[in-house]
Structure formats: structure tokens, C-alpha cells
């Protein structure tokens, strides 16, 4: 669907919005692809106000776990803390499919070691590995 090559020291959570802006979901029938998925699942690292606000604004349903520290802060603030985030455990369990796909990509030696110096060359390597999968 979409991926973005970033330096290793950058975090994953700030890259959620640029990846979603590159997203292209093909339609089952004819027509141009959609740029908004039906649902998004993410782990606790993606639970930020910025990401959740962006998903609400684009009307993308999401299942993102709330870290214990954020939950405690919200509860400490009482009524001003807001409502708890919606969370569906059944959907969250399916997130492991993405993790397994990423691990399958890492089985390709060129992807796991990243000997390519240029980002566009590594992007081609990852694209070729995803096509192969």
C-alpha cells in the first residue's frame, strides 16, 4: 500500500501522517484508488494527540492502544481529561499480521542489512522484496 524510507534514528510515530498521505487503496471495481483506508491499527507508539487528531479529521477509524502513562494522566485530570479512547481488542489482535509481514521482509538479506547507501536504491530493494512476497 505505502511505505517510507527514513533514517534509523527517526521515530516511527511522527511518520504516520506522511505514510498515510502516500497511501493508495485500490478499489475492487473500476475507478481511481482511494486515499483513505477503512481502518488503521497501530501499537502504543502511535498514540499521540497529533496522530489521533489527524485520523479523526480524515474520518479514519482506528484501533491504537493507549499507553498506561497517557491513561493515568487522563484519569488524573478527571472530567477535563476527556473520554477514554475507543479500543477493540479483536481488531488489535490482527495487528500481528503487519508485524509478521515486516519480519518476512527482513528475511531478505539486502533489506535486513541495508548495504545500499542511497535511500532511493534501498526503496527499490524494499519494493522488489514486497513484490516478491
Quick: pLDDT tens for 21-40.
Answer: 888 888 888 888 888 888 88
> What percent of the chain has pLDDT above 90?
4
Residue-level pLDDT at 59: 92
Alpha helices in 2-132 (DSSP H): 16-22, 49-57, 68-76, 89-93, 96-105, 109-113, 119-132
Residue 4: pLDDT over 80: no
Residue-level pLDDT at 58: 92
Residue 87: pLDDT over 80: no
Residue-level pLDDT at 57: 93
In eight-state DSSP terms, residue 122 is H
Residue 5: pLDDT over 80: no
Amino acid at each position: 500500500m505505502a511505505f517510507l524510507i527514513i533514517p534509523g534514528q527517526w521515530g516511527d510515530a511522527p511518520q504516520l501522517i506522511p505514510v498515510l498521505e502516500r497511501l493508495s487503496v485500490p478499489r475492487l471495481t473500476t475507478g481511481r484508488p482511494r486515499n483513505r483506508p477503512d481502518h488503521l491499527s497501530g501499537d502504543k507508539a502511535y498514540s499521540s494527540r497529533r496522530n489521533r487528531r489527524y485520523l479523526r479529521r480524515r474520518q479514519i477509524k482506528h484501533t491504537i492502544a493507549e499507553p498506561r502513562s497517557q491513561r493515568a494522566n487522563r484519569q488524573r485530570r478527571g472530567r477535563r481529561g476527556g473520554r477514554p479512547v475507543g479500543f477493540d481488542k479483536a481488531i488489535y489482535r490482527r495487528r500481528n499480521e503487519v508485524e509478521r509481514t515486516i519480519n518476512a521482509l527482513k528475511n531478505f538479506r539486502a533489506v535486513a542489512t541495508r548495504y545500499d547507501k542511497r535511500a532511493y536504491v534501498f526503496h527499490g530493494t524494499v519494493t522488489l522484496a514486497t513484490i516478491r512476497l
